[in-house]
A = this chain, B = another copy of it.
């Protein structure tokens, strides 16, 4: 994409309303624009990141055997009356009345609807287990939306729901998602730590939040240092044959807790002093077993092997997809701007022409641009007539992994400059060598 033709309204000034780094940087980099309190339009650069994250989340859900569907944003109030949550949910639920005076709502989550769909579709234990997920916009009418997309009102979430015949099966489904989440965050360039969370009325040990460490995190977290370096299951993970329970136990065997659940005495007793880490974290996922809470309310039953009707055992598994855009920036930026992990970067390369209009420089850039595209590398080519300093600032701000800087002086010596945004490392090398290093 040529920058001269790209819709990228970067801001020179830091917006006054933005309190945290990710919000400031997303506005400045032209990634989003607020359209109402807590509601954002995703401009092309922001949407590219959002889609990259979504694609990784989808691939890892599919790999773990979950199946994608798509439920609508609006739901009927009657569905939520069956579970009792229509009255209990409070003002964060956006309630809507249609032209026929029917009560509806903008879904904040989908337990009721997926249970109702499942109840109308499945009859026998032989149709279990199943895990169904969707990636859909949701709405929570936060009283004070803030921190940009980190706590917006309209937000994109992946929510999966598992259906099993018994608790043992539900535990296997839970472990699948647990392990899948470790992989998902690792692919996004994040280190996410699972921490025990409140399980609500059911009790047990099957509820975890996943938090990433970031200085600007909303929660205090306390953890065993080894969790920060623990190996995440790789591409060779086999969800059918590997011991997922053992992986889950490995990750939950060491102390990790948010400040809400922190027990200082236990922390000191269980974790040697040199391994104690007190930091701050951002919640980016939550998984939860809730048994028959919804299946009983919505009559979601199957015939078991013995012919008797039993309510299905369910769990739900959420990842905040739009929130992750902000969370990744909180975890990966410096004073000059964003530093995208390669896996989610909106473009992999920023190509800077230092003297647009100079025939030799234009030709060298056009050649590099074409070669990168031919190799399937996404590239944003700054072909504008801005001055060099402004071009460098913009490229640092939007945080593409590689900058390739081409000017007449370098070309005279047969070199271009290749800069790695994350390490800051610069090399003056031939265009061919630079391309080889990027294309790999």
Q: Please give the residue numbers on chain A whose beta carbons come within 8 Å of chain B beta carbons, in ascending order.
A: 5-7, 9, 30, 33, 35-37, 39-44, 47, 50, 65, 67-76, 79, 91-92, 94, 96, 98-99, 102, 104, 106, 113, 116-117, 120-122, 130, 132, 137, 139, 141, 143, 153-154
- The one of B9, B37, B98, B117 that contacts A121, using a Cβ cutoff of 8 Å: B9
> In the bound complex, how far is the Cα of B92 from the Cα of A122, in angstroms?
35
Most B CB within 10 A of own CB, among A36, A40, A139: A36
Q: Are B76 and A35 in contact (CB under 8 A)?
A: yes
B73 contacts A137, CB within 8 Å?
yes
Given known contacts A9-B121, A113-B41, A121-B9, A35 and B96 CB-to-CB distance under 8 angstroms: no
Among B9, B41, B43, B117, the residue within 8 A (CB) of A41 is: B117
Quick check: B121 and A7 within 8 Å, CB to CB?
yes
- The answer to whether A71 touches B154 (Cβ under 8 A) is no
Residues of B within 8 A of A75 (CB): 35-36
A35 touches B71 (CB 8 A): yes
Residues of B with C-beta under 8 A to A102: 36-37
- What are the residues of chain B within 8 A of A130 when measuring CB–CB? 7
| In the complex, chain B residues whose CB is within 8 Å of the CB of A122 | 9
Interface of A is mostly: mixed
Give the contacting residue for A42; candidates B33, B70, B139; CB below 8 A: B70
Chain B residues contacting A68 (CB-CB under 8 Å) are 44, 47
Across the interface, do B74 and A139 meet the contact criterion of CB distance under 8 Å?
yes
Report whether B41 and A70 are in contact in the complex, using a CB–CB cutoff of 8 Å.
yes
Asked if residues B44 and A67 are in contact (CB atoms below 8 Å), the reply is yes
Cβ–Cβ contact A98 & B141, under 8 A = yes
Complex: A73 Cα to B139 Cα, angstroms: 10
- Known: A30-B121, A96-B96; 8 extra A-B contacts, CB below 8 A, are A7-B132, A35-B76, A37-B102, A41-B69, A43-B117, A47-B69, A96-B106, A98-B141
Q: Which residue of B lies closest to A131 (CB)?
A: B7
Interface centre among A6, A9, A98 (most CB of B within 10 A): A98
Determine how close the nearest CB of chain B comes to the CB of A111; give it in whole angstroms.
14
For the complex, give the distance between the alpha carbons of A75 and B36 in Å: 7
Complex Cα spacing A79 to B35, Å: 9
Nearest residue, chain B, Cβ from A141: B99
What's the Cα separation between A322 and B74 when bound, in Å? Answer: 16
**Residue pair B41, A71 in contact (C-beta under 8 Å):** yes
Taking CB atoms, residues of chain B closer than 8 Å to A72 are 35-36, 39-41, 137, 154
Contacts of A91 in B (CB 8 A): 99
Least CB distance, A83 to chain B, in whole angstroms: 15
Are A70 and B96 in contact, CB atoms less than 8 angstroms apart?
A: no
Pair A143/B99 contact, Cβ less than 8 Å: yes
Assembled-state Cα–Cα distance A116/B92 (Å): 28
Q: A41-B113, A117-B41, A121-B9 are in contact. Are A70 and B99 (CB under 8 A)?
A: no
Partner among B7, B36, B67, B141 whose Cβ is within 8 Å of the Cβ of A67? B7
18 CB contacts below 8 A, A to B, read A5-B65, A7-B69, A7-B121, A9-B122, A33-B117, A35-B71, A36-B75, A36-B76, A40-B72, A44-B69, A47-B68, A47-B70, A73-B73, A73-B154, A74-B139, A74-B154, A94-B98, A94-B99
Q: Would you call B67 and A6 a contact (CB within 8 A)? A: yes
- The answer for the CA separation of A91 and B99 in the assembled complex, in Å, is 7
Could you tell me if A113 and B35 are in contact, using CB atoms closer than 8 angstroms? yes
Tell me if A69 and B42 are in contact (CB < 8 A).
yes
- What residues on B are CB-neighbors of A67 within 8 Å? 6-7, 44
A30 to chain B: which residues have CB within 8 Å? 121
Alpha-carbon gap, A43 to B132, bound state (A): 9
Residues of chain B within 8 A of A98, CB atoms compared: 94, 141
CA distance A102 to B37 in the complex (A): 10
Given contacts A75-B36, A137-B73, contact A120 B41 (CB under 8 A): no
With CB as the reference atom, state the residue of chain B lying closest to A384.
B126
| 8 tightest A-B CB contacts, nearest first | A9-B121, A42-B70, A36-B76, A41-B71, A91-B99, A39-B72, A99-B141, A72-B154
